[in-house]
A and B are shown apart, each in its own frame.
Chain A
């Protein structure tokens, strides 16, 4: 555009909006900016942690250890134990031993323990937020405002159910003659499942622990939980909280380790139920393992919360600026390392250019970097392994013909989104938020879960096409619908095959609301009344 074009009012008449919209927008480094605002509160992280078994932290003799690092600067935070199958054995035995007494407590007493834990989590919220951010790479803003408050909320919510389970599972009657090994009833005709083996991922380390432990305890079960290899610390602090709250020994046992430890829990003959959140790949292996009955002839119960490739559908009658906010939140929250991340964006063709332009502009205002800075929106990728996986998909996407977009790079050769380039810190694992345009439904990046800050933008023309494209995936965890027309919203929501459908919002979580998947995203629900069902025998 010439200088005259800008100053000359006459040029306005011929200014086609599309050419204006598509101009390169370069974010400026100048102008008013925020000073660094690091969270500087000191927290005590021990140089090493043992296993939390039978109410005590102990390090097994000759234990192998591994380090857990801060993915934002690759410094070592602490060392934890690689629990062996023998350690898992002890943990399961402790959980088994604690079970009758714990299940036999008056329900209101169990509730008191869980309430106490919830309150203690609130009291130690800042410490937990900081440790979570250090260990996982997620921005302090998110661990402080989302993760840890939700952790406390899950314990509070489930504590409330402990003595009201009779209202949840109505119409049950007590069996006159319970079996020899039957656990006590926690409500008429309702008994705990038993020892629960729980294996959780690294994206929401403490929140996933809360999702698993809180309903299990409310329903009188005991637990052996394994946090993820890269993010064990907050679960271990949670164990400290259990100690502080006087939770009876053995009710919750926390064992750290890698996949070998996880396998030992899943395959353990004395575990009654497995709850797993993680990749679909591992979920399938667990499902196969659990398909064989235990030596005593009983089957383990199983819930799986696995991957996703969740669609956003944005119609031309949507409130576009707010929809863009939801899309940004959906895919760049927690660096996109979210099982329900809205990673496929379907835009009605008539507004495709506008949405892409607005996405790019909005992306430019996201602050990427030090997760401990209170103004950081996108932090570090959790591990080198995960960064490699994201890089694989970024390359593949470009090879398959999609265009990688990042603010400031329009019309230039595709930049590299990962690594220490473009102002990223020199150490740590970084991926700048980005998105692909020109993605076709057959592209790998439109089908497989990237688990990173990478969005695939696709288009559609009619509502029917939107639904069929959105459902054209092996996954079915979540979906977002954006339209100002209520009738359309409801009709589309009914046709989408996914566990959660958010309308004109995204990533809204509440302990009262069940969460879980369809198809290869898993089965079973967590949260709400529905989440309790996995933890009782009726």
Chain B
């Protein structure tokens, strides 16, 4: 499996096939879990902490982005009936032109580095631009302060069967992320270097079949890995840092494997479903197949890749369905070797790309907390 760049033609594809009917059935089974009381509250808080709060519109402005950042840092600000200690979201996700406004805004709130700045780059959403332009797009976004680059793959090349071209472009973007990350200013103002995480958007709505989704997932995971290996063979893969110390509960010591790893390289790469500009965007069967791809990659190599469904996840209930899927697909791996007990259920390996989701989560949390449903106007807009 995963025989590197040899997969020039589909016949050599090592990716397993996917049965769409059974995958849909399995995905639907996750929606039948009954998530109540404590586990519901914990799940909603977890989902909130995994959010990439997103605005990707032509009419986005610096002021809109400032509002988004304020919401991201303190999602419950200005609202009643919410419990203490709600987490910040994982990241804000914006167009490259707005990255520096995010940077300034987060810096002014002292949240730089805590809430990540994700930027769609590489000619988002179509990717139909010369490679040089896409790489430059990436470079500028990182220079302006982005921590995470959400790139789109070249679907035209993929559907035409030019898989090596797709892989090489992913490698090129990953190389750019690594090189620019080393050069970039660190958020704490001390010296240089910032971890840049890459999220490869497959735009599964355009790939259409689950076989394509699986193959594109494998291709993207492998391409990112190859770029890392060729540039920094000794320093790349850090383990998941055990920041919450949950491993101690198991009696095993937390593994701080990143001691030997430069801080600026210790973040995980992702595969992501969609731009949000194509229908269907994220669906549960598609995301299931991508989870299976990262699971198989982990079983084979021990390396961790995150997953980000984006687009179409609007309700708290949906987000819980996704968490159930992550738990039941990858949960059994939790606690294995370097993986912490939460497995993939951490913002470092799982994200929701969404804009409306945050407020539905907040409304549900306030209902659990106070027994009252808040009106839409009670929840602050971003």
Contact = CB atoms under 8 A, between A and B. Distances in A.
Interface string A272-306: 00000000000000000000000000000000000
Interface of B: 1, 16-19, 21-23, 25-26, 32-40, 42-43, 46, 225, 228-229, 232-239, 246, 249-250, 255, 257-258, 260-261, 292, 299-303, 323, 327-329, 331-338, 341-343, 345
6 contacts: A7-B257, A10-B234, A34-B33, A35-B37, A319-B19, A365-B327
A122 B40 CA distance: 30
Given A320-B16, A325-B26, A20 B333 contact: no
A9 B246 CA distance: 26
Given A6-B237, A7-B239, A12-B229, A20 B299 contact: yes
A50 B39 CA distance: 44
A190 to B, nearest CB: 38
Nearest to B304: A6
Contacts of A1: 302, 337
Contacts of B16: 319-321
A6 B239 contact: yes
Interface residues of A, number: 49
A3 interface: yes
A385 interface: no
A321 B292 contact: yes
B249 A30 contact: yes
A33 B39 contact: yes
Contacts of A375: 33-34
Contacts of B236: 9
Interface in A321-364: 321-323, 325-326, 357, 361-362, 364
Contacts of B25: 325
A26 B336 contact: yes
Contacts of B239: 6-7
Interface string A226-255: 000000000000000000000000000000
A28 B234 contact: no
Nearest to A15: B301
Contact of B229 (A9, A35, A361): A9
A35 B320 CA distance: 13
A504 interface: yes
Of the candidates B34, B42, B229, B345, the one having the most CB atoms from chain A within 10 angstroms of its own CB is B34
Given A35-B37, A37-B36, A9 B249 contact: no
B211 to A, nearest CB: 9
A87 B36 CA distance: 49
A21 B19 contact: no
B333 A30 contact: no
A407 B332 contact: yes
A31 B234 contact: no
Contacts of B17: 317-319, 484
Contacts of B301: 12, 15, 20
Interface in A1-24: 1, 3-10, 12, 15, 17, 20-21, 23
Contacts of B334: 27-28, 30-31
A319 B18 contact: yes
A7 B19 contact: no
Among the interface residues B23, B235, B261, B299, which one has the most CB atoms of the partner chain A within 10 A? B299
A109 interface: no
A29 B246 CA distance: 11
B257 A27 contact: no
A7 B261 contact: yes
Given A321-B16, A321-B292, A31 B341 contact: yes
Nearest to B336: A25
Contacts of B19: 319, 322-323, 484, 504
A32 interface: yes
A145 interface: yes
B302 A15 contact: yes
A483 to B, nearest CB: 9
A32 B345 contact: yes
Contact of A504 (B22, B26, B40): B22
Given A6-B338, A17-B300, A34-B39, A505 B333 contact: no
Given A4-B260, A322-B18, 15 more contacts: A1-B302, A6-B257, A7-B260, A8-B234, A9-B228, A12-B303, A20-B299, A20-B302, A26-B336, A32-B342, A34-B33, A35-B39, A321-B16, A361-B332, A365-B332
Nearest to B342: A31
